[in-house]
Amino acid sequence: AQKITQTQPGMFVQEKEAVTLDCTYDTSDQSYGLFWYKQPSSGEMIFLIYQGSYDEQNATEGRYSLNFQKARKSANLVISASQLGDSAMYFCAMREGWSSNTGKLIFGQGTTLQVKP
Amino acid sequence: DGGITQSPKYLFRKEGQNVTLSCEQNLNHDAMYWYRQDPGQGLRLIYYSQIVNDFQKGDIAEGYSVSREKKESFPLTVTSAQKNPTAFYLCASHAGGERREKLFFGSGTQLSVL
């Protein structure tokens, strides 16, 4: 069965520093997609970044980058130059069933990030 | 602006009562989803619909029901059979097409039991 594991319930980072949020996954599929979402205290889920299993380069979106290590089945999110507004819960998710191309995602438990001024 | 609207933001349920959570989207997406989030945990799929008048159970469908009579709307009913309904409920939609296409989410409904 497919599974996402986020082992860091909570993290602290100093403003302007970089932080890495860990995500490991388990799947027997050769083709899959990995997503990171941010959930601020308001509750909505905000899409940050996507990595396909066959993408040759690690994904980047502004201050967000994904450290994708396929052999280790890890997809860690790196946030550079942290800002106070980055304080939120972060979820790693995997698309279930690559061939079906649906919005059915499997989510990890989440990591709460707090940015200190 | 296109998006997903969930209402109400907060909802209280009395024992034995059915309650309905509203989800409306104007993104013209075919597929819509309901996820449940318990405190400190990830999201779990309740129901989803990939086309009007059709829907499928997700991982935790027991005690819930849905309908999809219009493309824009996908209401979720929490029935009295759901013994532990207190949670944060998120509605989402998906455009299909590209595999990297993301889910769009509403702002959620917090359901509590009185």
Tens-place pLDDT, residues A8-27? 999 999 999 999 999 999 99
Cα torsion at A18, A46, A34, A32 (round to 10°)? -170
Q: How would residue A2 be classed by pLDDT, with cut points 50, 70 and 90?
A: confident
Mean pLDDT value across chain A: 93
CA distance A80 to chain B (A): 23
Residue B101 DSSP class: P
Task: Say which residue, A47 or B1, is predicted with more confidence.
Answer: A47
CA distance B93 to chain A (A): 7
The answer to whether the Cβ–Cβ distance between A44 and B33 falls below 8 Å is no
Q: Is any Cβ of chain A less than 8 angstroms from the Cβ of B96?
A: yes
A35 closest CB neighbour out of B35, B88, B102: B102
The answer to whether the Cβ–Cβ distance between A33 and B42 falls below 8 Å is no
What are the backbone dihedrals phi and psi of residue A99, each rounded to the nearest 5 degrees, phi first? Answer: -75, -20
pLDDT surpasses 60 at B39 = yes
What b/e readout covers A21-59, taking b as 16+ CB neighbours within 10 angstroms? bbbbbebeeeebbbbbbbbeeebbbeebbbbbbeeeeeb
pLDDT surpasses 60 at A100 = no
CA distance A33 to chain B (A): 7
For residue B85, cis peptide bond before it (omega within 30 degrees of 0) = no
Structure tokens at A20: 């890495």
Residue B63 DSSP class: T
Q: Which residue of A has its CA nearest to B89?
A: A43
The answer to whether the Cβ–Cβ distance between B99 and A35 falls below 8 Å is no
Q: Name the percent of chain A in helix, strand, coil, to the closest 5.
A: 5, 50, 45
Cβ burial of A79 (10 Å; 0-12, 13-18, 19+) is buried
Q: Is any Cβ of chain A less than 8 angstroms from the Cβ of B106?
A: yes
pLDDT surpasses 90 at B53 = yes
pLDDT surpasses 70 at B67 = yes
Pick the residue of A53, A105, A111 with the most B CBs within 10 A to test the interface with B by mutation: A105
Q: What percent of chain A has pLDDT over 70?
A: 95
Q: Do residues A77 and A21 make contact, with C-beta atoms less than 8 angstroms apart?
A: yes
What's the pLDDT at B19?
Answer: 96
pLDDT, mean of residues A69-98:
93
Q: How far apart are CA A63 and CA B52, in angstroms?
A: 38
Structure tokens at B67: 């309908």
From chain A, pick out residues whose CB is under 8 angstroms from the CB of B43.
45, 91, 93, 105, 107
The answer to whether the Cβ–Cβ distance between A4 and B42 falls below 8 Å is yes
pLDDT surpasses 80 at A62 = yes
Structure tokens at A12: 């602290």
Taking CB atoms and an 8 Å cut-off, how many pairs form between chains A and B? Answer: 71
Q: How would residue A98 be classed by pLDDT, with cut points 50, 70 and 90?
A: low
pLDDT, mean of residues B27-45:
93
The answer to whether the Cβ–Cβ distance between A104 and B108 falls below 8 Å is no
pLDDT surpasses 90 at A113 = yes
CA B98 to chain centre: 23
Q: How would residue A44 be classed by pLDDT, with cut points 50, 70 and 90?
A: very high
A97: Cα within 13 Å, side-chain hemisphere: 6
Q: Is any Cβ of chain A less than 8 angstroms from the Cβ of B23?
A: no
Helix, strand or coil, per DSSP, at residue A85: helix
Q: How far apart are CA B84 and CA B91, in angstroms?
A: 19
